[in-house]
Structure 1
Amino acid sequence: MGLTLTVSCAKSGTHSKKLRMRIAKAVRERKHGKAKALRWLLPHSYSAKLLAIRRVTSDKGRYTPGVDSIVWNTNRQKIATASQLNRRGYPPPG
């Protein structure tokens, strides 16, 4: 299963890079509406979620639980978490 996450993250990095190139091209061509749409897509894509999870779980604090008190140890947990991440359903801060 380790290979699956590695391959997914490699593809995600490629997808993210291509998206950044499309944003730069749209700005060069003065298509600001297209650039704005692509900028919104960049952090909201599934590949961005995979890259964020990889970044969080590969640094020296990988064994420290987050605000949800969960530590993702296996690749299966990491991929399942990526599919569960969404912008809705978070309790208000405070």
Structure 2
Amino acid sequence: MAIRIPRVLQSSKQLLKSFSQSSTNVDVPKGHLAVYVGEKLQKKRFVVPVMYLSHPSFQQLLKKAEEEFGFDHPMGGLTIPCTEQIFIDLASRLNT
């Protein structure tokens, strides 16, 4: 007997996995933006749809980034100061 993962959760994880990049030289597709997620020195690059910017939960993360970094983002791009797991959970909810 196999364990089934809900289809929405499975597709969200696949989407994030395909958008997750370890290299900063990868192009960002039209309609998406690159963000760096993580705390301390370990940051991971994610490419997410621009539509996330209008969602209230994502805006809370942006406000936290503004409070912590202002306009000086150490990675050279938008840095979101939260754990990777929190970001993935939020992105999974936004994809539904």
Shorter chain as normaliser: what TM range? under 0.3
Structure with the largest fraction of strand? 2
Q: Which structure has the larger Rg over C-alpha atoms?
A: 1
TM-score (norm 1): 0.28
Select the structure that is richer in helix: 1
The TM-score normalised by the length of structure 2 is: 0.28
